[in-house]
Amino acid sequence: MTHTRTHTYVTFANPYLICEECRQPVPRWHDARKCGCTGSAWLEPCGHLAAATSVCPSWSPVDGCQCRRYGVVSHPAAGPAA
């Protein structure tokens, strides 16, 4: 008998998040509780069990990135969510 599982991923609203362990952009995380996987949730695509940190100091869910408005953009541009 073959069993298949559909993994559940949750996309972050903040497009400026990076993995604290490898410093790669992380647009989403794997929700282990929703799909029945054992273990903790992990970041995608790197797979680390680390926290995600924003590289945009002015990002908000309402206004997005306000760095240009303040005259400085010292972080990478947001990439498309995977």
Q: Is the pLDDT of residue 6 over 90?
A: no
C-alpha closest to that of 24 among 56, 6, 47: 47
Q: Which pLDDT tens digit goes with each residue over 9-60?
A: 889 999 999 999 999 999 998 877 777 777 777 899 998 989 999 999 889 9
pTM attached to this predicted model: 0.76
> How wide is the angle at C-alpha 29 spanned by C-alphas 27 and 31, nearest 5°?
155
CA 68 to chain centre: 22
Average pLDDT, stretch 2-11?
A: 74
pLDDT band at 3 (very low <50, low <70, confident <90, very high): low
Whether residue 80 has pLDDT greater than 70: no
Q: Where are the domains of the chain?
A: 1-74
- Is residue 10 within 8 A of residue 69, CB to CB? The reply is no
Distance CA(30)–CA(7), nearest Å, equals: 7
